Each structure stands twice: as C-alpha cells, then as structure tokens.
Amino acid sequence: MRPHKVLKNIVPHHKEVAAKLSDIAPSGYTMALNVCYLTPQVQVTTYPEAWVKRYREMHFVSHDPVAIWSTVNSGSTRWSDLPLWAHTGLSELVITEGREYGLAYGASVARRNDTCPTLRCVLFAARPDRELTDLEIDYLVDVLDQAMTGIGFNSGLSAVELETLRDLAAGLSHQQIAAIREISAQTVRKRIDRAKVVLGARNAMQAVGIAARLGLLDAPAML
C-alpha cells in the first residue's frame, strides 16, 4: 500500500507529507505508531525492500542502535550522534549493512504517549548523501506529533469501527450487525471499508485479524 494511503486518516495533507518525507529521506523512512513490545499498531516504511527483507531475516531489530535508542529515549537525534555503543559489535554490523542499501545518514524521532506511557511512536529517515538539516529534523518532529494526534489509541479507528470489527469477530453477519446496532447494512459496510483502509487490509476478515493481533479487540475502544 502506498505511504500516503496509510497516512490518509492520520496526518492532515497526507499526500504532501508523504512527498516531503520522500524528499527528506530518499533512501526511505519508517513511521511506527503506538509501538508496544516492538509491535506497532500502524507502520509505514519506504526503505528498500531488499533491506527490509535482510533486516527481518537477520533479526536486526534486537541490535539496531536506531531502534534501541528509540525505546529508551524521547526526542530527536542524528544517527551520527548516537552513543559509542552504537558503533560496536552487532550494532555496528547493522549500521554497516544499512549503508549498503543507502542508509548512510539519518535521523530518529521518538515520542512516548503521555496518556498511555506503554505506547511509543517513532519516525526514522535515511539519506545516502548527507546529514539531515535541523529544519528537516524539525519537520520530522512535526509530522510525528501530527500522526500521534491523529491515531489516538486505536490505530486511527473510531469506536464504532472497532465495535463493528468486534461484531464480525463474534461471527455476526452484516445484516445481524445492522439489526443489533440499529443502523443500516450500508453503514455497516462503510465502517468496514474504512477499517480496511486504516489497517491496510484487503478484506473484512483480514481487518479483523489485524485488529485482533494488535490487541484492539480485547477491550472497549478508547476515545
């Protein structure tokens, strides 16, 4: 799914934001929202597919100094300013291999959700040619702040959309949901369609599966 499609319901002027991020980070960027135990509710990445595949196969997340920094810090930093431990052992291997895919320079922004401290949001941006400027990093900060406001607690889903997904998970049909919730079947379909877009799902059952994996169906929606 295109980045601006994921950002559509989270960030104002999403197409312009996606284009600007691509300009700032020609080697790619990753935005992960409401991360809990290394699992984000929403994630968009434009890093090279070969790097993403290599990263996952090698389980680099456990040694990635960028990821580690973001789990224990709030704020922003250039990758070149990471502590010395980031340039030793397996952490250095992650950095070295990343350069081969164009991730030579970069910046990270990390935020803890003030109303739900267990959730974190991060934005990483990479370039092959130069350090990011202060203005570019400030833009990353602004975008992440907008995304955090837009997503809330529930991956950008509204309370009624989560309610509909829970009803589907319980085995109810569209008509049954419409009758129980006293809404039209068309409204049910609209809620499901929007949930599919927000979660990046191809169909209703996949949307239910994604929501379940994220723990969104376990408790009433937080507004």
Give SS3 for 113: coil
Average pLDDT for 9-37? 90
**pTM for the predicted model, two decimal places:** 0.75
Mean pLDDT of the 185-205 span: 91
Residue 9's pLDDT is what?
Answer: 66
Query: What is the pLDDT confidence band of residue 223, given thresholds at 50, 70 and 90?
Result: very low
Which residue ranges does the chain devote to CATH 1.10.10.10?
159-213
pLDDT at 128: 98
Q: Could you tell me which CATH number the domain at 159-213 has?
A: 1.10.10.10
| 204, pLDDT greater than 90 | yes
- Of 125, 131, 127, nearest in space to 99 by CA: 127
Superfamily name with CATH number, domain 3-151: Transcription factor LuxR-like, autoinducer-binding domain (3.30.450.80)
Mean pLDDT of 148-153: 78
Secondary structure of residue 201 in the 3-state scheme: coil
Bridge pairing between strands 75-78 and 28-35: unpaired
pLDDT at 177: 96
Question: Across the beta sheet with 42-45, what order do the strands follow?
Answer: 42-45, 28-35, 120-127, 105-112, 75-78
The pLDDT score that the predictor gives to residue 134 is 98
Helices 89-99, 65-72: crossing angle, 10 deg rounding: 120
Residue 51 contacts by C-beta under 8 Å, 6 or more apart in sequence? 28, 98, 101, 103
Q: Residue 1's pLDDT is what?
A: 53
For residues 124 and 45, is the Cβ–Cβ distance under 8 A? no
C-beta atoms surrounding 63 within 10 Å:
17
From the number of C-beta atoms within 10 Å of its C-beta (0-12, 13-18, 19+), residue 143 rates as buried
Confidence grade of residue 38 (pLDDT, cut at 50, 70, 90): confident
At residue 115 the predicted structure's pLDDT band, cuts being 50, 70 and 90, is low
Give the residue range(s) of CATH 3.30.450.80 domains in the chain. 3-151
Weakest-pLDDT range from 31-45, 131-145, 164-178: 31-45
* Higher per-residue confidence, 84 vs 63: 63
Q: What is the pLDDT of residue 99?
A: 97
pLDDT value of position 124: 98
Q: Report which residue type is found at 200.
A: G
